[in-house]
Structure 1
Amino acid sequence: MSAVQRANTWEISDSENESDEVKPSSCVILDQDTSVNESNTSPSSRSCSARAEDGADGVKISSKRRRRTREEVQEELETRKAARDKRREEKEKLKEKKLQEQQRRKEAAERLNLLKPENFIKSLTAHIHAVLLRDAGCDVLLRTLDGFQWTNRIENQGLPNSISWTRQALQTEDEAEHGVIEEDQVLMVISHNEFEDMVMSHKTVTNQSALIGDMHEGAESLLQHLSKYLTRTTGKVVTILVMISHQQRSGSWGEDDFDFYLNQHHLDTEELLVHLQLYWNVAVHFLFGWQEVTDHVVALTKALSKRPYKALCGDPDLGFCMDGSWSAGVRVDRDGHGLAQVWTRQIQQLNRVSTAMAKAVTSAYPSPSLLLKAYEELPSEEERRRLLADLTVVGGAKERRVGPELAGRIHRLLTSQNPHLLLD
């Protein structure tokens, strides 16, 4: 046995000399006699054989992972198709959303264009009561409306001697019958004789101690028609235009004659005007001739055409205020930041005072108290008035001074005790 073992050892040593030709990962497994015990086998031989077996199993496992079945391929194709369909659907939704946004903007632009006064006035229709056509002077009104190419209709409905307006309803509004909306403004054109009848009718009802606003059934007057109309309809604003027509044509009446006419019937007329204003919110205007009536109708028609556009633009409550940073208020913090700007704005309120001139004063005297203290330190009144005259105004093409005129106005502003004194 010892000879066999030595022979095996010699063979292994010979193989180790030739290890350069053998790959490092290869293992030499020697076939030994069956009589040799397994315990005599070297540990390195057992580890090499184990690695060889593991390598073989690994090759088999990896080959199974790379191989896919037809079902798996079909499932992967369906997944990719579903992802493509989802991306395509998202693109279509985004495109549809953009189209809807464009359509919404287009409709908003078209609606805004329709609400502009020059376009909206085309949808207005003036309804003229047929009774007004009895006066030949009404032709002035009809020719003027036709000249503006405004729609007008002659009808025998509603309040007698009246002129009212309707317009086509927009898509966003609650449309009335036939898509027409009535405007709240109504004009009632009457002559001075008809106005005298209204005064007498009101005086008769008052003398009989009837309730204000109530009319007897037998009293056929325009005041009765007006009372019934205002009771039947709500939200209407009626304006009575008293037309002095035949006196103007004859040339016998002037402004003084008209005042004398009102003074003669002063008490009765005032009672009627107060009754109409307080109980019915009806205003009365006295006009000379159909031309002034036509001008009033044209002005009111233009005002009605501008109303929707102004409401859409959202006019501020104080429409007379100027826009921009100049008219905005100045924020003053608790630490006093902003008071210098308030002092500058206060000087700018004077006429013909620019921002550069105001800053020249506030830079030299950052607060009104400092300027008042400087006034007190001067001995004479003339020196106080000319204290700010030599201050240099920064800005502009050439160098200039504040001047004695502005210096005197600022001095009067801060030192005068007369509240009614004119600074300019």
Structure 2
Amino acid sequence: MSVLKRAHTWEISDSENESTENKPASLSVKLDQDTNSVCVADKSSISPPGGSSAERTSEVKKPGRRKRRTREELKEDREKRREEKERRKEQKLQAQQKRKEAAERINLLKPENVIKSLTIHIHAVLLQDVGCDVLLKTLDGLSWRSRIEDQGIHNSIRWTRQALQQGEEEYENGAVEEDQVLMVISQNDFHDIVTSHNKNTNKLAPTGEVKEEAESLLQHLSEYFNRASGKVVTILVTGQHQRGGSRDEDDVDSHFYHLETEELLVHLQLYWNVAVHFLYGWEEVTDHVIAVTKALSKRPYKALCGDPELGFCMEGSWSGGVRVDRDGRGLAQVWTRQIQQLNRVSVPTAIAVTTAYPSASLLLQAYEELPSEEECHRLLADLTVGGGVKERRVGPDVSGRIHRLLTSQNPHLLLD
């Protein structure tokens, strides 16, 4: 019996007359005898027999599973998270500590706390004056620290405080010496200074040099400035100096003494920056010491806050000034501000005046047209001021002050 053999593969291709360039990829149809299935494959994709199995077989890769991390990797990840958490916590604690230290430093620099760290050093020579008891009792009553010493310039009062900030130059025992120094002398001592200045100053030498011929307070003051630079000394002269002699001789001596005193004051102010205050007694000296102590207690806090150069200028729109354009816009508001600068003149009162007379020149013309001075004073008295619960007038007082402001020729005249 003859066996019928069938072809395993039929190749279906396009016409051979077409060019090879335009031929599409040939297809091959394979008939599997076992499964009786037909497979259609692209002939160009069939690998040559000599190729590897990876090249002969095209498989679709399935998405792989997520790689499971080892126990060491998990432990290392937990350690990193724990370290990051501790680092953030440490940074937060450091920031809180810095804020706390800054708040404590600011609180320490407040005047009420700085004044507790100030020490008032009183020279022992001042204890010979009976009036010094007034100062000592007052300081004890205020619970301020004071110290009697025999250092520095004679008859002096100086201040030291604890070092509150880094970079401050320490004087002794961690204290900072203030630059303010008071020198308390009597009228007789001041007369000796005047005499010593006239006798011991060499007119041919440079101004400011004093001969060391006599032991005087002026000599001590000169030596003190030579060894202590940057100090601000203020001389407080207490008591009254009585001088004898006839009236005519006393008048002549007084005249020359006055000239000598003026010469000494100018010399001290210009070359040594020393101010002289004449006081009646130790009560005023005590008030001066208290005022200087309070001012020194406010220094650190003001330096920390950084006061502006013009500390008296307040912030706000009312103090910012008025802008005037080239066309004159804003002049009416300037005129209102000028009236408002007077004492006890409110904004409604100033607006009432400037509404009736929009410029200063119009008000001056109205003054010139009136025949008498009394009518000029009362020109604005009957103007109605609005803005309140009840209507009121400008009044004769404000009217008279505005008239004096615009017409007076005396620069020292008090308007109020």
Kept in 1, the 8 Å contact 2:159–2:177? The answer is yes
State the match for 1:34 in structure 2. 6
Alignment of 1:133-282 (within 5 A): 133-177=127-171, 178-206=173-201, 212-244=207-239, 265-282=257-274
Cα pair distance change 1:76/1:308, threshold 3 Å: same
Structure 1 position 413, deviation (Å): 9.3
Structure 1 position 114, deviation (Å): 1.5
Q: Aligned with 1:66: secondary structure?
A: coil
* Residue identity opposite 1:117 in structure 2: P
Kept in 1, the 8 Å contact 2:156–2:181? The answer is yes
Instruction: Please list the CA deviations of residues 227-254 of structure 1 after superposition, one character each: whole Å capped at 9, or x if unmatched.
Output: 111112111111122222898xxxxxxx
State the match for 1:288 in structure 2. 280
Instruction: Please list the CA deviations of residues 247-267 of structure 1 after superposition, one character each: whole Å capped at 9, or x if unmatched.
Output: 8xxxxxxxxxx9999657223
CA-based RMSD of the aligned residues comes to 4.8
Greater shift after overlay, 189-198 or 310-319? 310-319
Considering fraction of residues, name the structure with more helix.
1
- TM superposition score normalised by structure 1: 0.67
State the match for 1:326 in structure 2. 318
Q: Aligned with 2:214: secondary structure?
A: coil
Cα pair distance change 1:115/1:262, threshold 3 Å: farther
Kept in 2, the 8 Å contact 1:262–1:269? The answer is no
* Residue identity opposite 1:34 in structure 2: R
Which of these residues, 97, 105, 110, is aligned with residue 103 of structure 1? Answer: 97
Kept in 1, the 8 Å contact 2:376–2:403? The answer is no
Kept in 2, the 8 Å contact 1:385–1:407? The answer is no
Cα pair distance change 1:391/1:151, threshold 3 Å: closer
Kept in 1, the 8 Å contact 2:162–2:176? The answer is yes
Q: Aligned with 2:191: secondary structure?
A: helix
Q: Aligned with 1:265: secondary structure?
A: helix
Instruction: Please list the CA deviations of residues 102-130 of structure 1 after superposition, one character each: whole Å capped at 9, or x if unmatched.
Output: 32222222122122211101111111112
* Residue identity opposite 2:39 in structure 1: S
Structure 1 position 185, deviation (Å): 1.0
Q: Aligned with 2:178: secondary structure?
A: strand
* Residue identity opposite 2:220 in structure 1: H
- TM superposition score normalised by structure 2: 0.69
Which of these residues, 49, 53, 60, is aligned with residue 39 of structure 2? Answer: 49
Cα pair distance change 1:341/1:288, threshold 3 Å: closer
Alpha-carbon separation, structure 2, partners of 1:312 and 1:344: 38
Q: Aligned with 1:226: secondary structure?
A: helix
Q: Aligned with 1:241: secondary structure?
A: strand
Q: Aligned with 1:74: secondary structure?
A: coil
Instruction: Please list the CA deviations of residues 309-333 of structure 1 after superposition, one character each: whole Å capped at 9, or x if unmatched.
Output: 2333333333444443212212345
State the match for 1:314 in structure 2. 306
Structure 1 position 186, deviation (Å): 0.9
Alpha-carbon separation, structure 2, partners of 1:153 and 1:346: 53
Q: Aligned with 2:95: secondary structure?
A: helix
Cα pair distance change 1:397/1:216, threshold 3 Å: closer
* Residue identity opposite 1:180 in structure 2: A
Alpha-carbon separation, structure 2, partners of 1:173 and 1:98: 28
Alpha-carbon separation, structure 1, partners of 2:114 and 2:184: 25
Structure 1 gap segments, 5+ residues each? 1-31, 248-257
Kept in 2, the 8 Å contact 1:191–1:242? The answer is yes
Greater shift after overlay, 280-289 or 342-351? 342-351
Structure 1 position 392, deviation (Å): 7.1
Alpha-carbon separation, structure 1, partners of 2:295 and 2:404: 42
State the match for 1:18 in structure 2. none
Greater shift after overlay, 144-153 or 238-247? 238-247
Alpha-carbon separation, structure 2, partners of 1:201 and 1:423: 47
Kept in 1, the 8 Å contact 2:201–2:210? The answer is no
Q: Aligned with 2:282: secondary structure?
A: helix
Kept in 1, the 8 Å contact 2:352–2:386? The answer is yes
Instruction: Please list the CA deviations of residues 158-202 of structure 1 after superposition, one character each: whole Å capped at 9, or x if unmatched.
Output: 111111111111232333243221111111122222222222222
User: What is the total number of aligned residue pairs between the two structures?
Assistant: 368
Alpha-carbon separation, structure 2, partners of 1:130 and 1:411: 58
